[in-house]
Each structure stands twice: as structure tokens, then as C-alpha cells.
Amino acid sequence: PALLDMAAIRAQFPILGQRVRGRPLAYLDSAASTQKPTAVIDAMADYYRGQHANIHRGAYQLSQMATRLYEEARERVARFLNAADPVECIFTRGTTESINLVAASWGAANLSPGDEIILSVLEHHSNIVPWQMIAQRTGARIRVIPINDEGELQLDAYHRLLSPRTRIVAVNHVSNALGTINPVAEMVVAAHAVGAVVLVDGAQWVAHGHTDVQSLDADFYAFSGHKLYGPTGIGVLYGKRALLEAMPPYQGGGDMIERVTFVETTYAGLPNRFEAGTPHIAGAVGLSAAIEWIEEIGLEAIAAHEDRLLVYATDRLSAIRGLDIKGQARRKAAVISWVAVDPPIATLDMGVQLDLEGICVRTGHHCCQPLMDRLGVASTARASFGLYNTFDEVDRLATALTAIFERARDRSPAGPDPDGVS
């Protein structure tokens, strides 16, 4: 794939030009949320300036235009995911709402006492808690796929967990805390062999590689617009048509009905039946612009750039004595997570000191407390990359971290490093 023109790309992200604490901003937190290119910002501003009205049922031209933009966004999402039909793409607030929709609606209709839901240790809380809530209501049980010390799912254990009691497997495509890319295609085949359906949490994948829900054969696929260079407040739930059509509504309200009386209400077809109320129309417009923009640059070129950054960052951070990288899976995407073991430095402290240099990383449990428990740490510090990040930013991170470790060593009770080679 072609090398990215970094100057041209960065020029399209107004936020990246600013200085923080007198230093150029080094934004290394794209796994939490990506920044937005002007193409997205302008598309949303243009929509509000000249095209906004509520969608559906408007007799007038402006409403029809807004409806068309909203439905064109759905078509673009469908092409992006290679969904068979745009009605299989439901707009939600984000990954969290997409998973809650499936857990509440599909779960209520399909789970009974003794049924099993398979999750993994790598899951984000948003792919754990909704399942616990529906398990409590239905009497279903949660089983958990373990990981090895590199942060990879243990597939032999997964195969042993699968049984005729398995109703659904819900796993992330990429771990937000460690960056592990999971072998979801293989996992789907195995789940289908026992008659289970699969939900893939694609929040951390879609910005880093092609997604083809048909070749993956995923039953449900969820992602958030804001991690894909699009706006917050909009996301997608892809679901196979037959599954979605058989599911009861999630929320009730306007726009999701066919006919309402006080005796009985009948529901609209897909996708409206799962989109109660006025949706985030400008969000859909912005997401559509983000997808168009990414496709112009090319996901292969983006992934190749991020892989080079990840290899470089892994080399640089591995060279810092006392720094322990968590999760060295063979296949990783755009995330590097670490802790300071010698001397021990609180991850929050590292984050605060990096911030003084204008470097943004995330510290904490990354909404993955069960994973932190498995790793035996309370938290990690995490740098994550987007297409706008540079080797220079990785150098700044490594240099700043080296200095943080040196200062901590000087302060540690043992005094300065006896070898003098920190």
C-alpha cells in the first residue's frame, strides 16, 4: 500500500495543530476516540446550515432531503460493511447501545434458564454488563473464554466451552486494552456448528481494516462512529435480516410503528422498528462523510501506516528498562499498553507527566476490569494510534517515558540506579 502523505492528512485535522502546555499536541488516544477531519466537520455543519428538518413523513422538500441524506448514510454504511441490504444496518448511539439492543431484544426472545452466553476475558464492560443484565432476567449463564499471557484468546478452551447450550457468543474483534486481533471468522464457524449466533464488537476494528460481515458470517456486528473519524452519538448495529425481523422492538415510540391504538400496536419493518424517536440525523451524515473520507485514503494504507507505528513503538518502549508491555499478541492493531514495574510508577502518574509534555495517553482499566484482574494489574497506560500519528510522536512518547523512569529511579528508596545505566 502507498505511504500516507502525513502533512496533507494532518492538515485536515484542525485540532491537531494546537499546542498544549506550550508543546505541540501528540494525540495518542484514538482507541478512546479519534479526531475529526474537516470533511466530517463540514458535512455536519452544512447539514445544519442548509439541510436540516426532521426525517420521514415530511411533505416538504427539506424533510425529504434530510430523509434522503439519512438513508444514503445507511446505504454507505451497508457498503462499508458489505451488508447484503441496508435495512440490516440500524443506527444507534454507538457500540454500547448496539450491544444493549441485541442483549435486551434478542436475549429476551431467545434465552432461557440453563442457556449459555459465551464472552471473553478481553471484553469491554459494554460487552459484559448488558449480558449480565439479561442473564439475570432470563436465567441464562455466562461462560468466559480465557486468554494466555500474551493476551490471546485460548481457542482450545473456547471449543470446549461451546455446546448445544450455547445460544450466543459475544466477542470483540480487537481488544481496546491490549490491541489483540481476535480470530473472529474462525470463532463464528465454530459457534455456528453448535447452533449459536455470534455478536462481534467491532468498535476497535473498523478503523483499522476492511470489514465484510458476509464473509465473516457474523450474525451481529457493532461499532461506533466516533472511533472511525466520525461524530459521537452515532453508531451501527448490523444484524442478519432474518434475525432482526424475528426480534421484538427494543424501545417504543415514534417512527417505529405501523399502527397504534390503545388496544394494539403493530410495528414498522426494518430498520425503523429499531429506531424509535428522532435519530441523530447529523451524526449519520457525519459518519457517512467519515466513511467516504477513509475510503478515499484507503484502509490498507491506513493499516500499513499504523502497523509500522506499532512495531516502532513496541521497539522503543521495550528498550525502556522496567517498563512492561502488556499483551504481546502475534496479531495486534494500533494499541500498546504498559505498566511500570521497576521502579513501580502509578499509571495515572505516568499519564499526568506525559500530559505536561503535550502527550495524550489513556491510563486506567479501559473499561476492562476483568482483564486487568487477569493481568494482575489495577490499570495500564495505553497509547493508541490513528492514521494521523507520526514516528516523531512515538519518539516523543519514548523520550518522555525514559525521563519519567529516570526521575522515579532517582527518587526511589534505593537511591539512584546502582548500575548507572537507566
Q: Which residues bind ligand PMP (CB under 6 A)?
A: 94-96, 124, 126-127, 172, 176, 201, 203-204, 224, 367
- Distance (Å, rounded) from C-alpha 21 to C-alpha 277? 43
Count of helix runs (H) and strand runs (E) in the chain: 15, 18
C-beta of 89: minimal distance to ligand PMP in Å? 16
C-beta of 111: minimal distance to ligand PMP in Å? 21
C-beta of 382: minimal distance to ligand PMP in Å? 11
Nearer to ligand PMP, 37 or 130 (CB): 130
Give, for 191, the enclosing helix (H) or strand (E). helix 184-193
- Distance (Å, rounded) from C-alpha 110 to C-alpha 167? 8
C-beta of 367: minimal distance to ligand PMP in Å? 6
| Strand 220-224 versus strand 197-201 pairing type | parallel
**Residues 196/243, Cβ–Cβ less than 8 Å:** no
Nearer to ligand PMP, 222 or 303 (CB): 222
Q: How many residues does the chain have?
A: 422
Nearer to ligand PMP, 20 or 129 (CB): 129
Which cell numbers hold the place of 366? Answer: 479501559
Nearer to ligand PMP, 228 or 354 (CB): 228
C-beta of 327: minimal distance to ligand PMP in Å? 14
Q: Is 321 exposed, middle or buried (0-12, 13-18, 19+ CB in 10 A)?
A: middle
Q: How far is CA 354 from each of CA 20, 21, 351, 377, rounded to the nearest angstrom?
A: 11, 11, 5, 20
Query: Which residue in the block uniquely carries the three cell numbers 475529526?
Result: 36
Question: Minimal CA–CA distance to 179: which of 308, 331, 335?
Answer: 335
C-beta of 233: minimal distance to ligand PMP in Å? 9
Catalytic site residue 89? Answer: no
Amino acid letter for position 74: R
Nearer to ligand PMP, 188 or 236 (CB): 236
DSSP letter, residue 273: G
Nearer to ligand PMP, 12 or 127 (CB): 127
Catalytic residue among 89, 360, 367, 368: 367
DSSP letter, residue 76: H
C-beta of 176: minimal distance to ligand PMP in Å? 3
Tabulate helix, strand, coil % of the chain (nearest 5): 45, 20, 40
Which cell numbers hold the place of 249? Answer: 422492538
C-beta of 330: minimal distance to ligand PMP in Å? 19
Question: Minimal CA–CA distance to 175: which of 150, 148, 203?
Answer: 203
- Distance (Å, rounded) from C-alpha 301 to C-alpha 40? 20
- Distance (Å, rounded) from C-alpha 12 to C-alpha 258? 44
Nearer to ligand PMP, 107 or 202 (CB): 202
Nearer to ligand PMP, 95 or 288 (CB): 95
Give 141's contacts (C-beta < 8 A, 6+ positions apart).
Answer: 114, 115, 116, 117, 135
- Distance (Å, rounded) from C-alpha 306 to C-alpha 69? 32
Question: Minimal CA–CA distance to 171: which of 194, 187, 190, 159?
Answer: 187
Annotated catalytic sites, by residue? 367
